[in-house]
């Protein structure tokens, strides 16, 4: 009997061969062998504790910074969705946010409470779980600038707790084990005027809307900025702004944002990215590193 026919009992939903494209901003990709939508953290912990350790586990948030390959994802894909994973609590000058809470919602909750410091999250597409995984940030601020601590589950379903210094954050990177499924984070705010805080958030939102293709099927910044360089400039100077590659292209509005311009496949998007990386390397000697995660296997 295969592991898919002997899954642990859960209170949430277990969906076999579920298409993952609708769960990503690019709207591409194949199915998960099993998609698990846990009812709450206890449901998730119990499932992990009983799932055979050789079954791969992948966590998917709102799919804002990911390409799911056309062949789909092996093992179990866990999606933290619903109120059980999206609560935001204000405790004096701290913001306690579940991993499934949208970054923008956390910034709004902090502003409403008169707590400054998290305004930059208004410009970060995604959830707190993803922010912890990649030290998400924009406009000069990052997750490490506001995080106090976080907790989650390891692959066995046991609780692990990390203080800020345990993450070893660097630019768009955390040294925490990749298999931790984050559940909740505590952020430190600074008392401020809600009107001024909201004004700063509005400015970030305006700048983002003016410079980024937020209404397209995109995945946020494609490449990390190399030391001393801007990724968008390197892509632009290589001539890839607005140049089609299958159904994909780098946005005419922002040349570090790939878009699904015309019924692209995941192979179009990843192929475009790899072609541009090779082109930039040949022209400049600079290696562009992916910021977008690529998950799964190519279509056979």
Tens of pLDDT, residues 39-93: 999 999 999 999 999 999 999 999 999 999 999 999 999 999 999 999 999 999 9
- The answer to whether the CB of 34 falls within 8 A of the CB of 10 is no
C-alpha Rg value of the chain to the nearest Å: 19
The CATH architecture annotation of domain 86-209 reads 2-Layer Sandwich (3.30)
Q: Which fold has domain 3-83?
A: 3.30.43
| Beta-strand runs (E) in the chain | 13-19, 31-37, 57-60, 66-68, 73-79, 88-91, 94-98, 115-116, 137-138, 141-142, 147-153, 159-163, 181-188, 190-191, 218-221, 248-250, 257-260, 293-295
Region 275-281 average pLDDT: 98
Is 110's pLDDT higher than 80? yes
The reported pLDDT for the residue numbered 300 is: 80
In order of 149, 157, 158, the CA distances from 152 in angstroms are 11, 9, 8
CATH architecture of 215-295: Alpha-Beta Complex (3.90)
Per-residue pLDDT at 194: 96
pTM of the model: 0.93
- CB neighbours (10 Å) of residue 158? 11
CA 14 – CA 50 distance, rounded (Å): 14
Q: Can you tell me the mean pLDDT for 131-156?
A: 96
User: What is the share, in percent, of the chain residues with pLDDT greater than 70?
Assistant: 100
Mean pLDDT of the chain: 96
Range list for CATH 3.30.43.10 in the chain: 3-83
| pLDDT tens, position by position, 174-211 | 999 999 999 999 999 999 999 999 999 999 999 999 99
- Give catalytic residues, as residue numbers: 172, 221, 291
For 9-34, letters b (16+ CB in 10 Å) and e give: ebebebeeebebbebbbbebbbbbbb
pLDDT digits (tens, 9 = 90+) for 3-49: 999 999 999 999 999 999 999 999 999 999 999 999 999 999 999 99
The answer on pLDDT for 1 being more than 70 is no
């Amino acid at each position: 009997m295969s592991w898919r026919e002997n899954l642990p009992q859960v209170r949430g939903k277990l969906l076999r061969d579920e298409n993952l494209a609708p769960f990503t901003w690019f709207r591409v990709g194949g199915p998960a062998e099993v998609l698990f939508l846990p009812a709450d953290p206890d449901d998730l912990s119990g499932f992990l504790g009983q799932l055979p350790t050789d079954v791969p586990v992948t966590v998917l948030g709102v799919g804002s910074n990911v390409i799911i390959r056309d062949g789909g994802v092996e093992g179990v894909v866990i999606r933290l969705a619903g109120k059980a994973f999206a609560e935001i609590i204000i405790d004096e000058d701290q913001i306690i946010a579940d991993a499934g809470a949208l970054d923008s919602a956390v910034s709004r909750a902090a502003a409403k409470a008169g707590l400054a410091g998290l305004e930059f999250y208004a410009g970060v597409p995604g959830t707190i779980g993803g922010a912890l995984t990649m030290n998400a940030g924009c406009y000069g601020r990052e997750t490490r600038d506001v995080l106090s601590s976080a907790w989650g589950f390891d692959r066995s379903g046991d609780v692990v707790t990390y203080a800020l210094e345990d993450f070893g954050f660097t630019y768009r990177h955390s040294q925490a084990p990749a298999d931790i499924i984050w559940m909740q984070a505590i952020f430190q705010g600074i008392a401020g005027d809600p009107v001024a805080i909201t004004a700063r958030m509005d400015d970030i939102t305006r700048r983002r809307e003016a410079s980024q293709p937020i209404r397209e099927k995109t995945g946020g910044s494609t490449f990390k900025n190399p030391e001393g360089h801007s990724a968008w400039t390197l892509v632009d100077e290589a001539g890839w702004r607005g140049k089609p590659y299958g159904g994909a292209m780098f946005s005419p509005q922002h040349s570090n944002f790939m878009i699904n311009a015309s019924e692209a496949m995941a192979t179009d998007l990843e192929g475009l990215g790899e072609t541009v990386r090779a082109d930039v390397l040949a022209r400049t000697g600079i290696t562009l590193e992916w910021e977008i995660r690529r998950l799964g296997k190519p279509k056979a």
